Amino acid sequence: MQVALLVPETEWQTLLATVHKLNAAHAEAAAAAPGPDDILTVPQAAAALGLTTEAVRRARREGRLKGVRRNEKEWGFHRSVVEQYPRRYHRAA
């Protein structure tokens, strides 16, 4: 058995307008969302951070910089993680 609910037309129009506003806001947010995050190699991450490649590798080993495995030997870093690193760990001069 299904339940039917009667809604006055004015309330129905208000609900439809609200749904259309939410759909528009959702589409706007989806359009503003950044695309996929590219992966930087160790030398690229080091250049972006102004560090040596060994300092980047040490930061990954110590857990300060989250890396992703590119293959059996190489690590990579998401650009967003690299961009957040200086704000978290470098002190102001």
Our count of domains for the chain comes to 1
Label residue 93 by pLDDT band (50, 70, 90): low
Q: What is the pLDDT of residue 46?
A: 93
The verdict on residue 59 lying in a domain is: yes
Q: Which of 82, 79, 85 is nearest to 37 (CA)?
A: 79
Whether 7 is in a domain gets the answer no
5-56 residue pLDDT tens: 899 999 999 999 999 999 999 988 877 766 678 899 999 999 999 999 999 9
Residue recorded with tokens 């609910």: 5
Indicate whether 22 belongs to any domain: no
- Edge-first strand order for the sheet with 68-69 is 39-41, 75-78, 68-69
Q: At residue 12, what is the residue type?
A: W
Per the model's pLDDT, the better-predicted residue between 33 and 1 turns out to be 1
Q: Is the residue at 47 inside a domain? A: yes
| pLDDT for the residue 32 | 75
Q: What share of the chain is helix, strand, coil (3-state, %, to 5)?
A: 55, 10, 35
Q: Which pLDDT value is given to residue 29?
A: 82
